[in-house]
Amino acid sequence: MVQTTVLSRQDAWADNSSLCELLLGGIASLSTTLMGYLDQHIIDSLTSSRSYQDKRSIYRVFIVLLAQLPLVGTITSLTKVDRNIATMHSMTLGAQEVTEILATVGAQKGNMRLDKIFLSAVSAGCLLAFACGTVLSTNATPWFQENAPGLMRTISALVFPYGLCMIILTGADLCTGSFMFTTIAALHCRLSWTKMLIHWAVTFLGNLAGSLFVVAIIFGYGDVFSADPFRSAVISFATKKQVAPSFHTVFLRGIGCNWLVCLACFFGFQGQELASKVIGIWGPTFAFVSLGLDHVVANMTFIPLAIWVGAPEITVSLYIWKGIIPTLLGNIIGGGLFCGTYYWYMQLLDINTLPLYETRKKGDSSPDSVSQCDGVAVK
């Protein structure tokens, strides 16, 4: 359905381009006729003497061509602009088309074999761990931490989004993105609620396994953060994120974080070529990092790495209580409710067919517009 819509949109723009060329061609013909009268008047005044009669045709051709050059350039420019606009529109999808794609993607992910889901989630955890390590390395400047903390947070926000770009572009499974994908699929009757919950659990465990692998094998035994100032930066970053905030503070930050992360996923699917995908992903991800919000999978790298290098105030129990539980609950609400449920309700649900409104005629079962799922009508 989405592909057909895009093709019809391209055909419409092609028709508009042809119409534009036809209109501009008519304008050019009319201009040529008018310029014929104009240059005739000019030439008659210039060639009043007999000595210029033999040069009349040369002057006529020269004046007509000179007068037509700006119009020809305008026609060419407008045609190119029209074609460029048509190309740009074919590179992006509308919100309803993207939501339909997300429902399909959520169904595909939710119905995958468990071993594939787990391995895909491990890959996502590893990729995001590399981005988290990059953020920690940019914070290893004590003077800037004390005198320009906003600058350091901005730099971290600029470099972190490449992790989410790698995950989305390679098709790996991040549990925070799955909260939106599978929720839309379940609400749209393409995935059972049981499979949705199983997918959440498996992707969470896979993300945790991938993150801990990079923390221990790459960062830990690789001595990436074992010496100062990098070790001190890891401990300071994790302490500010884990020890100081209260439970409800981390929970609320988790909601805002995955709201933005799922928007990044949405924009990533909206673009149809690499540059637009990367730009779409980068913006919301930059926002959540610069605001200091909490992402449950990112915390799987930040906090365990601090424990590995010997952070004195952080323990495993504290990490579970304040690093996993509130962040996970907040991420589920931000991705599943504020993004998944919202976009399904706004883009895919046909509100006029709900029993509350009773606007659908009895016996009308138009299969091309709606389908029934447990008494709820969807487009």
Which of 121, 212, 105 lies closest to 174 in space, CA to CA? 121
Q: What is the pLDDT along the chain (379 residues), one digit of tens a residue?
A: 444 444 444 454 445 555 455 554 555 555 555 455 545 554 455 445 444 454 455 545 444 444 555 544 544 544 454 455 444 455 788 999 999 999 999 999 999 999 999 999 999 999 999 999 999 998 887 777 777 888 888 999 999 999 999 999 999 999 999 999 999 999 999 999 999 999 999 999 999 999 999 999 999 999 999 888 899 889 989 998 889 899 999 999 999 999 999 999 999 999 888 999 999 999 999 999 999 999 999 999 999 999 999 899 899 999 999 999 999 999 999 999 999 999 999 999 875 544 444 433 444 444 344 444 654 444 5
HSE-CB of 11 using CA atoms within 13 angstroms: 6
Collect all residues with Cβ–Cβ distance below 8 Å to 225 and sequence separation of at least 6.
133, 136, 137, 219, 231, 233, 234, 305, 309
Residue 293 backbone dihedrals phi, psi, to 5 degrees: -80, 170
Alpha-helical (H) ranges within the chain are 2-46, 56-90, 95-110, 114-138, 142-147, 149-159, 161-170, 175-187, 193-213, 230-242, 247-270, 274-290, 296-308, 316-318, 325-332, 342-343
Instruction: Check residue 79 and give its pLDDT.
Output: 47
Domains identified in the chain and CATH numbers = 2-90 (no CATH), 95-348 (1.20.1080.10)
Instruction: Check residue 28 and give its pLDDT.
Output: 52
Instruction: Check residue 11 and give its pLDDT.
Output: 52
Instruction: Check residue 339 and give its pLDDT.
Output: 97
Instruction: Check residue 72 and give its pLDDT.
Output: 47
Instruction: Check residue 371 and give its pLDDT.
Output: 44
Please give the structure tokens belonging to residue 284: 């919301």
Residue with tokens 């209580």, as numbered in its chain? 321
Determine contact, residues 60/39, Cβ cutoff 8 Å: yes
pTM: 0.72
Instruction: Check residue 316 and give its pLDDT.
Output: 94
